[in-house]
Structure 1
Amino acid sequence: MTLTNSPSQSKWMIPLLGYLVSFGPLSIDMYLPSLPTIANDLGTSQVTIQYTITAFLFGMAIGMLFFGPMSDLMGRKKLLLIGTASYVVSSIGCALVNDGESLILLRFLQSLGAASAGVLARALVRDLFPLDKAAGILSNMHIISMGVMLLSPILGAYIVTWLNWRWIFYFLSALSFISLVAIFLIIQEPEKTNTNTTSLKGYLSVYADCLAHKKVGFYLLANGFAFGGMFAFIAASAFVYIDYFEFSETTYAIVFSSNVSMVIAATFINKALVKHFSVLTALKSTSSLSLAASWLIIVTAVFISNSSIMFIFVTMLYISVTGAIGANSLACLFDLMPSRAGTMAGLLVSIQFIIGGIVSYVTSLIFDGTSSSLLVVMGICGCLSYLFHRLSQR
């Protein structure tokens, strides 16, 4: 049942929901330029600091599977306030830590709050707006999220250069506190509908039914490993660029943001591709390009790993198509099980973060400070992604 908001609420509703969706990427991208500095300041290893990314990714996966069904049972606003408040507190805790192990734990707690914001903001679009406006609103929220992803690494680099890495988390806590107040003042609790009476056990059985379909699993794994390579890059790229290639934090942030620009560009190209051909054709094309990038990555790792230009080129080519692969995979899942669209979306993102967490953990174990070790992981992920894509078409 759609809830009617006052004009003042409607004016700020979409920007607020768009920012809530950005909690996850903002929490990762903003502090990436500071990873080497954090390791030195806390007197801990690069591996430990990389675990903070792994913990965050696992927390996002767990939170997304948990908060969606629970909000149907308990209500959106209450859980959103709890999740955002926990994000505020854990962000302050991240700023005050004195060792890497504490940062890992607090980043996990922070990710649960970020997951609640991301899931419940999307669910509120369904609750608060008519169906014919929902797609446009979600698109606007995505634009806001991508804008945040573009700016956050650069902002984080300036903060760590002129202030201190701890101020990144103070900044995140301040923004999330403002969001907490805005949620309380702007968002009204949607009226409950019949879906709110569904039990948690019922939701778990729906997940099980979807995963029992073999093609669903292959699509999820193909998308998950494509993003796994990107999360490997996120986990180790700061150390490669700043310590190995000796880039400044600001230069690294600009290069990282360029990857996001390429994702946006590839998404627009994919949109045109889908308009003229089928979604399956678009998925084949983007998966093939990802495979080509993966082989280039492996060649670079073996023969020219000391070239920063080649490193930038091959990783940017790989990362550019991840968004398109995700969109095409989800569209294929919708076509496969149209009555389970919400569950398919939740599974896709959750498996994406689970595989991302596993790959980032493996990356932290084998990363030796050079570009080769990172490139090998990305190349393997790309090849596995293409393999599962091919299996999904059998």
Structure 2
Amino acid sequence: MADGVNNARTTTDWRNLRLLAILSALIGFASISTDLYLPAMPAMARALNAGLGATEWTVSGYLVGFCIGQLIWGPLGDRYGRRIPVACGIGLFVIGSAACALSQSIEAVIAARSVQALGASAGVVLGRAMIRDLYTGARVAEMMSTLMTVMALAPLIGPLLGGQILLLGGWRTVFWCLAGFGLLILATLLTLPETLPPARRQSIGLGEALGRYAALLKDRRILAYTGAGGFFYAGMFAYIAGSPFAYIDYHGLPPQDYGWLFGLNILGIMTGTYANARLVRRYGADAMLKAGLLLAAIAGLAVAIVTMTDLGGLPGLVVGLFFYTAPVGFVIANSLTGAMEIAPHRAGAVSALVGALQYGCGIFSSLLVGVFADGTPRAMGVIVFVSSIAALGSAMFLRRSHVAEVQNG
């Protein structure tokens, strides 16, 4: 009897571990498909005879696909179940990754990155939905916390691994590895059962679902929370688009070492996320959001000064960006939580909308980094600073909006 119980427990533990691994891979698609290729961006630019700005637009192209995909895959998953839309998304990811590897121009890479992101977004959106399907109550929070910890490792490992792949096989090999990763996940996905039975599926069409997004945009508080997180994301993606050239081309850092500096910021993000989890219950989400954005604004000013004057060189730039990125846990989690609390009955739609608009801000900022690229990190530094000020201003608007609602009764 004891052996039977132990065997059953072992089988359950193995299934939970396998499920955790698959869901981590699905939700981590966004980080993996971006962070792995960052060290290869300068080499790709040279191989394709592309300008600095055009190469940075490969980040913008990815964000366009990811932004649109978040709004589409959620309603499709609610209507048709999780497995088929996720499988279709992973298939698009594989096609986009292979197209990147075969591209002969930077314009082709930009287009292929959009397809790659459109597919990757299915794993992120529906992976979270699968957790809600499978678990209830505190178990959902426990699984999400575990997955967030695992996801934090992806941007830590991605640039390091990408630098080594670049050293061994060139920039095209990076994208072939991503295509292979997608095929592996597609194969493992076939072992998972459908998590959303037909009885729980929604019958609304995609057009109606998109109309509900428009209704949410009429709430000024949702816009304020979205602006706080979105403008902060704008600075983050300016850093993601501009730092490979700032570190590697401008400051002469070897590509295989880029991941170490990128990973340093991830450690800062993990520390900030842990601090937010410990402090938010005591001080409240809005207070933690504003504290994080104040730190980001101060760091953004330092980044602008360093990039404009070269004061401190590479170490000064690394330190400034470290303190700008560290409050991610303060900003993103609390802005999303605040927005969802305004319309709890539409939490899923709010989550998708806020996520899409945040990535939309990233599209705009990464495009600007490319437009104003001049061979120096100046454009990146100025955009990081301006974004941090706009984010802080959006958070300050929350109090004014609340006061106005009280006065209006």
Q: Which category of TM-score, normalised to the shorter sequence, fits these structures? A: over 0.9
Give runs of aligned pairs for residues 1-394 of structure 1, distance below 5 A.
9-305=15-311, 307-394=313-400
Moved more, 53-62 or 289-298: 289-298
1:159 partner amino acid: I
How many angstroms apart in 1 are the aligned matches of 2:275 and 2:83?
A: 37
Q: Can you list the C-alpha shifts for 1:237-276, whole angstroms capped at 9, x where unaligned?
A: 1111111100001221110111111000111111122132
SS in 2 for 1:65: helix
How many residues are treated as equivalent by the alignment?
Answer: 390
How many angstroms apart in 2 are the aligned matches of 1:260 and 1:234?
A: 12
Q: Can you list the C-alpha shifts for 1:41-90, whole angstroms capped at 9, x where unaligned?
A: 11222222111110001110100011001111122111111111111122
Q: TM-score, normalised by structure 1?
A: 0.95
Contact 2:268 2:322 in 1 (8 A): yes
How many angstroms apart in 1 are the aligned matches of 2:91 and 2:30?
A: 15
Offset of residue 360 of structure 1: 0.2
Contact 2:26 2:124 in 1 (8 A): yes
How many angstroms apart in 1 are the aligned matches of 2:377 and 2:112?
A: 29
Contact 2:229 2:358 in 1 (8 A): yes
Q: Which runs of 5+ in 2 are unaligned?
A: 1-10, 401-409
How many angstroms apart in 1 are the aligned matches of 2:115 and 2:210?
A: 23
1:357 partner amino acid: I
Offset of residue 200 of structure 1: 2.7
**RMSD of equivalent CA atoms:** 1.7
SS in 2 for 1:187: coil
Contact 1:305 1:372 in 2 (8 A): no
How many angstroms apart in 1 are the aligned matches of 2:295 and 2:146?
A: 28
Contact 1:305 1:371 in 2 (8 A): no
Q: Which runs of 5+ in 1 are unaligned?
A: none
Contact 2:80 2:201 in 1 (8 A): no
Offset of residue 9 of structure 1: 4.3
How many angstroms apart in 2 are the aligned matches of 1:201 and 1:113?
A: 20
How many angstroms apart in 2 are the aligned matches of 1:33 and 1:298?
A: 23
How many angstroms apart in 2 are the aligned matches of 1:222 and 1:136?
A: 27
How many angstroms apart in 2 are the aligned matches of 1:136 and 1:32?
A: 31
How many angstroms apart in 1 are the aligned matches of 2:210 and 2:98?
A: 34
How many angstroms apart in 2 are the aligned matches of 1:305 and 1:360?
A: 24
SS in 2 for 1:197: coil
Q: Can you list the C-alpha shifts for 1:67-117, whole angstroms capped at 9, x where unaligned?
A: 001111122111111111111122112111111111111111000110011
Offset of residue 189 of structure 1: 5.0
SS in 1 for 2:182: helix
Offset of residue 305 of structure 1: 4.7
Q: Can you list the C-alpha shifts for 1:146-197, whole angstroms capped at 9, x where unaligned?
A: 1111101000001111221111111111111010011112233530234512
In structure 2, the CA distance between the partners of 1:89 and 1:44, relative to structure 1 (3 Å rule), is: same
How many angstroms apart in 2 are the aligned matches of 1:139 and 1:91?
A: 29
In structure 2, the CA distance between the partners of 1:322 and 1:189, relative to structure 1 (3 Å rule), is: closer
Contact 2:308 2:381 in 1 (8 A): no
Q: TM-score, normalised by structure 2?
A: 0.91
Offset of residue 293 of structure 1: 1.3
1:337 partner amino acid: A
SS in 2 for 1:43: coil
Identity %: 27
How many angstroms apart in 2 are the aligned matches of 1:122 and 1:380?
A: 32
Moved more, 240-249 or 136-145: 136-145
Contact 1:19 1:144 in 2 (8 A): no
